[in-house]
Amino acid sequence: MKLAARVSRIAPSPTLAMAAKAKSMVAQGVDVVDFSAGEPDFDTPEPVKAAAEDAIRSGFTKYTPSSGIDELRGAIADKLQAEVGVRYDKSQVLVSCGAKHSLYNLAEALLEAGGQRHARLGADPRRIHPAGPPRHRKSSGRPDDSQG
């Protein structure tokens, strides 16, 4: 079977490489603060576990809308209003399974072949999300590697 040319542009994940390095260091007894994969360093809180179990037992086990569950999107909009002072309608909130997924969707929606995009984290031009450049290449774009 012949794969699409874009498959050859997929590089190993730098985020997962960093996570593997951190795990290796921890196994060697090094005290590591791992910011690579964005996963918490604590177990899922008991109330969250209980809520998940209740959802399963009540039959909440089917696919959800790709933009997220309406109640969750509304709760996020309310939290932004209460804590940050900005107001969004729930229709303006998108829930995804993580930053890489969101960056991929963004690149696919906005990046034309050969177009150049930045994958910055905040205002500091040196902080580039490690998943950004590979995603841009996969989308036939050109990442801006000049600042990172």
**Phi–psi pair at 108, nearest 5 degrees:** -65, -35
For residue 120, the model assigns a pLDDT of 56
- Which one, of 117, 119, 141, 114, lies nearest residue 130 by Cα? 119
pLDDT band at 147 (very low <50, low <70, confident <90, very high): very low
Contact 18, 39 (CB under 8 A): no
Judged against a pLDDT cut of 90, whether residue 91 lies above it is answered with yes
Contact 15, 130 (CB under 8 A): yes
Taking residues 112-131, report their average pLDDT. 59
> CA-to-CA distance for 52 and 15, rounded, in angstroms?
28
- Which one, of 94, 114, 89, lies nearest residue 105 by Cα? 94
26 strand-pairing partners: none
> CA-to-CA distance for 54 and 52, rounded, in angstroms?
5
- 3-class DSSP state for residue 143? strand
Q: What is the pLDDT of residues 39-66, one digit of tens each?
A: 887 899 999 999 999 999 999 999 999 8
